[in-house]
Amino acid sequence: MEAAFSILYVGYILENVLFSLGLGHKQKLILDERNRSQERLIAQFRENEDLRLKVQAQLEENVKAMEIKAEAERLKGLQTQYDKELAELKLLALRSQMNPHFIFNSLNSIKRYIIDNDKEKAVYYMNKFAKLIRRILASTMEKESSLSDELETMELYVNIENLRFNNEIEFSIQTESHINLTDIKIPSLLLQPFLENAIWHGLSPKKKNMKLQVVLSKKNEHEVQIEIVDNGIGLRKSRHIKERKVHKNDSIGISLSKERLEHFSKQYLRVGQIKIIDLEEGNNGMSGTKVVINLPYK
């Protein structure tokens, strides 16, 4: 009985020892798995941290690139605005030179009617002159005007200049009926230098049979074509006369008009263009000059 009890007791102890060993081994496996999980978590954390640092560095680089691009665009915008304002200042300077000379000669022409006691014509042209001066002064405040206003101003201008030619210049404006002149914008007084050149360098040497035309046509859905055509002596002869003069006046008004049209075009889909053509070079028996202006509009 005692032997059986001892065997049972020893078996019980062995069972407990084996259970304890198994439990310890199980705990070791759990501990090892936990350590491996912690190592994997730490490695993943480090990998995430490295990725975060890379993403942050990339974002900072992108932000810096965007800031540089934004600054470049800002500077470009400032440069464009500066060029535009410079062109307008040049125009103001040109007008300040043109106005006294033009006003003096115009008043002298009107004075002739007063001296001749032709009061009706004197009053008629004085009213036109006053209206033109108001428009010129208004244009210094408005950088753009409607094509309708521009043509009306140019008609006034040619009428006043024509006084000094005893109204010998035959001037006309032709417009296609489907062009809405009120909605189309144009830089103020853009056409004036070309009309002035046509009158004083093309037509004045002829003395008679002087014709000047402004023709408007729709080139496409986004462009109007303006042609200023005179039957004067043409570019080649005009340059030859200018070269013989002691005091040579370069037409800064024309180069300025080209510059102003270039800046004006930046708000549209198409680029405005100005071409000056000597009609004599066409060998068609004609003489004179044609100015072709492609004016963009929305």
Q: Rounded CA gap, 72 and 12, in Å?
A: 88
Strand order in the sheet with 223-230: 169-175, 210-220, 223-230, 289-296, 273-278
In a domain, 157, yes or no: yes
In a domain, 26, yes or no: no
In a domain, 164, yes or no: yes
In a domain, 11, yes or no: no
In a domain, 20, yes or no: no
Range of the domain at 155: 66-296
Q: How many domains are contained in the chain? A: 1
Query: Residue ranges of the alpha helices (H) in 116-233?
Result: 119-139, 147-162, 192-197
In a domain, 140, yes or no: yes
| DSSP state, residue 270 | S
**Angle, vertex CA 165, rays to CA 163 and CA 171, nearest 5:** 80
Instruction: Write the CATH number for 228.
Output: 3.30.565.10
pLDDT at 85: 66
In a domain, 34, yes or no: no
pLDDT at 225: 96
Q: Rounded CA gap, 280 and 235, in Å?
A: 8
Residue whose C-alpha is closest to residue 259's, from 81, 140, 83: 83
Q: Rounded CA gap, 233 and 215, in Å?
A: 20
In a domain, 84, yes or no: yes
| Per-residue pLDDT tens listing for the chain (298 residues) | 666 666 766 666 776 666 666 767 777 777 777 778 778 878 887 887 888 888 788 878 887 888 787 777 777 766 767 666 666 666 555 555 455 666 777 788 788 888 888 888 888 888 888 888 888 777 767 778 999 999 999 999 999 989 888 889 999 999 998 899 999 999 888 898 899 889 988 998 887 889 999 999 998 888 999 999 999 988 887 777 666 554 444 456 787 788 888 888 888 878 899 999 998 755 566 789 999 999 999 8
Q: Rounded CA gap, 7 and 104, in Å?
A: 142
The counts of H helices and E strands in the chain are 6, 7
3-state helix, strand, coil in the chain (%, to 5): 65, 15, 20
User: What Rg, from alpha-carbon coordinates, does the chain have?
Assistant: 43
pLDDT at 248: 47
